[in-house]
Amino acid sequence: MALYDIVIHGGRLIDGTGNPWFYGDVAVKDGKIAAIGKINPASGGRTIPAKGLVVAPGFIDMHTHSDQPLVADGNAESKVRQGVTLDIIGESQTVAPLAGPVLEEYRAEHRRRNGIETDWNTFTGYFERVMKGGISINVASGVSPQQVKQVVVGFEERPATRAERQQMNRLIAQAMEEGALGLTAAWHAKGPENPDEVVEMAQVVKRYGGYYGVHLGSEGFDIFEELEKAIRVAVEADIPVHIYHLKMRAKSNWGRVREVIEQIEEARRKGLEITANQYPYTAMQHPWRRLFPRWVQNAPASETIPQFKNPAFRARVIGDPEFKQYVNEHGGWEGVVAARFDRPALKPFEGKTIAEIAKTRGQDPASACFGLIYEEGAFVPGVHHTMSEEDVRAVMRMPWVSVGSDGGALNLNYPGKPHPRSFGTNPRVLGKYVREERVLTLEDGVRKMTSLPAQLLGLKERGLLREGYWADIVVFDPDTVSDTATYENPKQYPKGIDYVLVNGALVIDGGGHTGARPGRVIYGPGKVRSGT
């Protein structure tokens, strides 16, 4: 009988700390790393030859939207093929709490987009649903403060009453006790509009040992004001703050990301635990909803979409200064791309900019944008070309910046032309920015995907190659690892990632998916403390 389940033999071990690689073997038994060192390869029930390859901890994606994709297809192909073994979900929208109009909008959107019937309204319900069919990677979630407020207050943007704030805080506590990792927010420009409420919710999360993750509002002309609000939460709630996909939008702002970095560095010098993540691309992705003034963004889509045919509504939008600002921050009409249409008549426009579509239709860009939303019956998913390559490199060099795709666990059948980050984020860092451009060392590139996010999330027994840790392991070729996904053809899996183990089970074997679904829900510290 074999001593170990699997022995990975003869590889260059990068343990995730940032320390230099070393030669060694890794033995896996009962889902965990049983031994590291010189190990007889014959002692494993399966031996993986790793000569010339790198053996590293599985990658942790700090910021994803895999909540619905994991229900639709638990194989998580686009993620696990990158070496990702843990996706952190939750930000602009979280799987819970869901009630009233928020539940109805969530249910309608995901029924239409993903074919998913939402039969849960709590984190416990979602975790049970996603595990029912099994998943190939691990998953953990945060809880959205703006969604909690909408459940309690509704879609009207106003300060919550004292009683409503108490109810919001109770929902946050419930989420943490059900296993949420922390408070994960996505604000509009200059947001949040009622920061005292966020501080209170963050104080609840602090009691459970969580963190505050935040998508700054415009990430452009108002970013310094938005960052100050995030720092305020760090000060008043005494809580770690993690900034999602740190960037600077709009060509006229290129180069100013260094000022943002300095603002964070100054906060860190004062003892505030501020960190960030980043995806290695100059384009972002989210629905066209974010092109519009806050009064449009805050309203229920079911009420707003029909109005895009209304001339008075269109005139009000065009006359709002926020509309001009947000279109500018998204790269202008030449930078905003339609990523997906579900209406057959609109399918030919996928992958084209609004400027190109407007020219084809003989319209001005704003009218074309309004018409497409009305005809699709939804805010169109968009890819937005708005950042500079040098800014991407500047952020990446910061030691407190980890890697997060802001993508989803997709497969090759996913509709439309999604952002290539869902298929290529991690290998792009290792291939383009480590091997080709030497922005990072290989060891630091791995650190940003493993021990750094594990530290930020407070995870135990993950993020390092250590005896006794869970065997989330990736084996890749440092000379060939690379992304193949492009903006024009995004649905392509990467190269050079040969083996991926999740909780000790082989999910990627010789570059192919085994069909194994050994993933687990990773619960936050509040789940343990509550005893549930």
Tell me the C-alpha distance between 449 and 451, whole Å: 7
Clarify whether residues 62 and 155 are in a common domain: yes
The answer on 153 and 263 residing in a single domain is yes
Look up the pTM and report it. 0.95
Return the pLDDT at 157. Answer: 83
Task: Let me know if residue 519 belongs to a domain.
Answer: no
Residue pair 206/154 in contact (Cβ under 8 Å)? The answer is no
Residues 120 and 75 placed together within one structural domain of the fold: yes
Q: Is residue 50 part of a domain?
A: no
- Of 385, 413, 434, the last residue of a domain is 385
Q: If you ran DSSP here, which 8-state letter would residue 308 be given?
A: G
CA–CA separation, 20 vs 16, rounded Å? Answer: 10
Question: Could you give the CA distance from residue 445 to residue 481 in angstroms, rounded to a whole number?
Answer: 13
Bridge-based pairing of strands 401-403 and 497-502 is unpaired
In the prediction, which pLDDT does 528 show? 59
Does the residue 8 lie in any domain?
no
Omega within 30 of 0 (cis) for the link into 192: yes
Cα dist from 371 to 285, 304, 374, whole Å:
20, 13, 5
Q: How many CB atoms lie within 10 A of CB 126?
A: 26
What string of pLDDT tens digits covers the 532 residues of the chain?
899 999 999 999 999 999 999 999 999 999 999 999 999 999 999 999 999 999 999 999 999 999 999 999 999 999 999 999 999 999 878 999 999 999 999 999 889 888 899 999 999 999 999 999 999 999 999 999 999 999 999 998 899 999 999 999 999 999 999 999 999 999 987 889 899 999 999 999 999 999 999 999 889 999 999 999 999 999 999 999 999 999 999 999 999 999 999 999 999 999 999 999 999 999 999 999 999 999 999 899 999 999 999 999 999 999 999 999 999 999 999 999 999 999 999 999 999 999 999 999 999 999 999 999 999 999 999 999 999 999 999 999 999 999 999 999 999 999 999 999 999 999 999 999 999 999 999 999 999 999 999 999 999 999 999 999 999 999 999 999 999 999 999 999 999 999 999 999 999 999 999 999 999 999 999 985 544 4
Q: Does residue 205 contact residue 183 with C-beta atoms inside 8 Å? A: yes
Q: Which residues pair with 184 in a beta bridge?
A: 213
Give the count of domains, the chain.
Answer: 2
CA-based Rg of the chain, rounded to a whole angstrom? Answer: 23
Residue with tokens 């889902």: 31
For residue 372, the surrounding DSSP H or E stretch is helix 365-376
Q: Are 13 and 26 in contact (CB under 8 A)?
A: yes
- Return the CATH number at 480: 3.20.20.140
| 322 lies in some domain | yes
41: left (phi over 0), alpha (psi -120 to 50) or beta: alpha
Boundary of a domain, candidates 385, 407, 428: 385
CA pseudo-torsion sign 509, 513, 519, 522: positive
The pLDDT assigned to 156 comes to 87
The residue type at 425 = T
CA 355 from chain centre, in angstroms, equals 28
The closest alpha carbon to 96, from 28, 178, 35, belongs to 178
Joined together, the tokens standing for residue 59 give 């990658």
Residues 86 and 135 in one domain: yes
- Structural domain contains residue 325: yes
* pLDDT value of position 530: 45
- The percent of residues in the chain predicted with pLDDT above 70, rounded, is 99
Check whether residue 133 and residue 240 sit in a common domain: yes
Using the CB atoms, write b or e for 321-352: b if 16+ within 10 Å.
ebbebbbbbbbbbebbbbbbbeeeebeebbbe
Tokens of 420: 């290539």
> Do 219 and 193 fall into the same domain?
yes
**Rounded to 5 degrees, what are φ and ψ at 302?**
-65, -30
61 neighbors 489 (Cβ within 8 angstroms): no
| Measured distance CA(145)–CA(306) in Å, rounded | 28
Can you tell me which residue has the tokens 């895009």?
Answer: 308
Tell me the residue range of the domain where 365 lies.
Answer: 287-385
Q: The tokens of 425 are what?
A: 């984020």
Q: Are residues 68 and 162 in the same domain?
A: yes
Q: Is residue 105 part of a domain?
A: yes
Does 411 share its domain with 380?
no
Please indicate, yes or no, whether residues 251 and 141 belong to a single structural domain of this protein.
yes
Give the H or E element holding residue 274: strand 274-278
Domain boundary among 324, 355, 385: 385
* Rounded CA separation 159/135 (Å): 40
Name the 3-class secondary structure at 84. Answer: strand
Cis check: omega of the bond before 97, within 30 degrees of 0: yes
292 and 278 assigned to the same domain:
no
**In a shared domain, residues 401 and 480:** yes
d(CA 378, CA 284): 19
Tokens of 510: 């010789």
The candidate with the shortest Cα–Cα distance to 239, out of 338, 331, 316, 172, is 172
To the nearest 10°, the Cα dihedral for 450, 233, 298, 279? -20
User: Is 480 domain-assigned?
Assistant: yes
Closest CA to 416 of 333, 347, 352: 347
Confirm if 373 and 290 have CB atoms less than 8 A apart: no
The reply to whether 350 falls in a domain is yes
Pair (208, 248) in one structural domain: yes
